[in-house]
Chains A and B, each alone.
Chain A
């Protein structure tokens, strides 16, 4: 079965850093593009970042550009999101998701809460 298991969330002070991980299993991770999506509790989903299958091409939402870095280790079947200079507005549940070529997510991680607060 396909599984995406996230880890690394928690409470961090404004200006701090956090790294999320998303461990993939049950499929050939190295052949799929992956995305990060976030959701403020009670609000809608917001696309954050994407990475191609090889890890050679990345893209970011304007709200996180220059502060967040998406990466992957295909040998470890793991996706990452390094989040620096965190702000209160980054507080959200972060999901990793497997994306298909026509832009839909067929599998999601369980979600990881990131709280930015002093």
Chain B
């Protein structure tokens, strides 16, 4: 299976909202509500931000939200802050106990 498709970068000014897309297929994102998003700062391990399309783990800011339409999932960051500058990775369950990832999106805070 091919990797999920994410834009290479997305930028925004502090306080703005940005949305990162993650496109898969009818076999993964389109079939299961099992999409997750991870934030990764340079040199650090990924951190879970969203699971099961739109759920936030305890401790994650409510400025982060997730959604899905058809074969595309989205992560929205509202009230963009300097600390949000990082790489963001989407992931989807494929139904065979393996996972697909996107190529990652660099969020740039202008």
Which residues on A are within 8 Å of B, measured CB to CB? 33, 35, 37, 43-47, 50, 59, 61, 95, 99-100, 102-106, 108-111
Contact = CB atoms under 8 A, between A and B. Distances in A.
Contact of B100 (A35, A47, A59): A47
B52 A44 contact: no
B18 interface: no
A93 B101 CA distance: 15
Interface string B71-98: 0000000000000000001011100111
14 contacts: A37-B101, A44-B101, A44-B102, A45-B46, A50-B97, A59-B98, A100-B51, A102-B52, A102-B93, A103-B93, A104-B34, A106-B51, A108-B46, A109-B45
B2 to A, nearest CB: 12
B65 interface: no
Contacts of A46: 3, 101
Interface of A is mostly: strand
B48 A47 contact: no
Given A45-B89, A45-B91, A109-B45, A104 B52 contact: yes
A58 to B, nearest CB: 10
B31 interface: no
